[in-house]
């Protein structure tokens, strides 16, 4: 069987990544999303196993020790990580698996899965990025400045990704995203079966 592909998705605050991913899932409901393991407490409205598996710090550290994670990170004192097994199983089953991570996580995954395809979600301009980060205008300027600094730091890594999807019009961006995933199945490494069959290998 031809293998599936890992897609790594990153995008800073203000890229509209989360809304875009929801729209992508509407258009391509067969896409598998990786579920992160995290040690922070569950928030109101969150469901175990939907976007996150909420696990203990002890279990997380065991996962690190056993090399059960594709990537992990610490954020405000909590662990965040991508379990390896579900991703590798999906790919071996010929399915695509989408992993949302920050640039740091992306680099870690690419080291372990060099043929993963990476997509960076970009805001359409600096002006729109600033407007999105300012939001409803209730935050202090220093908070907004920090968000902008962090967003620009992530964008400075965009050049290391395979594809850029500019999230200006949501519908257009979602279609572009889905087409990048669709075209991937024509890549040669996913068609070796046919080549070998014709050559009687």
In angstroms, the Cα distances linking 40 to 13, 60, 111, 200 are 20, 11, 26, 53
Using the rule CB under 8 A, is 4 a contact of a second copy? no
Using the rule CB under 8 A, is 155 a contact of a second copy? yes
User: Interface with a second copy by CB under 8 A: which range of 18-26, 64-72, 103-111, 152-160?
Assistant: 152-160
Q: How far apart are the first and last CA of the chain?
A: 15
3-state secondary structure of 132: helix
User: Interface with a second copy by CB under 8 A: which range of 39-47, 57-65, 83-91, 175-183?
Assistant: 175-183
User: Interface with a second copy by CB under 8 A: which range of 48-56, 70-78, 98-106, 150-158?
Assistant: 150-158
Kindly tell me which of 36 and 96 has the beta carbon lying closer to a second copy: 96
Q: Write down the residue that tokens 């964008």 correspond to.
A: 155
CA dist 86 and 82 (Å) reads: 9
- Choose, by CB under 8 A, the member of 34, 123, 147, 174 that binds a second copy: 123
Q: Is 66 exposed, middle or buried (CB count within 10 Å of its CB: 0-12, 13-18, 19+)?
A: exposed
Using the rule CB under 8 A, is 9 a contact of a second copy? no
CA dist 129 and 122 (Å) reads: 9
Where does this chain bind a second copy (CB under 8 A)? Answer: 120, 122-126, 129, 152, 155-156, 158-166, 176, 179-180, 182-183, 186-188, 191-192, 194-195, 197-200
């Amino acid at each position: 069987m031809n293998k599936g592909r890992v897609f790594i998705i990153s995008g800073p605050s203000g890229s509209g990544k989360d809304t875009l991913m929801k729209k992508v899932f509407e258009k391509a409901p067969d896409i598998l999303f990786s579920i992160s393991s995290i040690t922070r407490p569950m928030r109101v409205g969150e469901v175990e196993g939907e976007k996150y598996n909420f696990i203990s710090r002890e279990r997380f550290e065991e996962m690190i020790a056993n090399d059960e994670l594709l990537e992990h990170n610490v954020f405000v004192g909590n662990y965040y990580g991508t379990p390896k097994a579900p991703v590798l199983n999906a790919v071996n089953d010929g399915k695509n698996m989408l992993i949302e991570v920050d640039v740091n996580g992306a680099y870690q995954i690419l080291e372990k899965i060099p043929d993963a395809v990476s997509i960076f979600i970009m805001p359409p301009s600096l002006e729109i990025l600033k407007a999105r980060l300012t939001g409803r205008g209730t935050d202090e300027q220093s908070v907004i400045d920090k968000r902008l600094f962090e967003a620009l730091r992530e964008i400075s890594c965009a050049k290391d990704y395979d594809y850029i999807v500019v999230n200006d019009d949501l519908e257009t961006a979602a279609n572009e995203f889905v087409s990048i995933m669709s075209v991937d199945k024509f890549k040669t490494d996913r068609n070796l079966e046919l080549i070998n069959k014709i050559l009687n290998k």
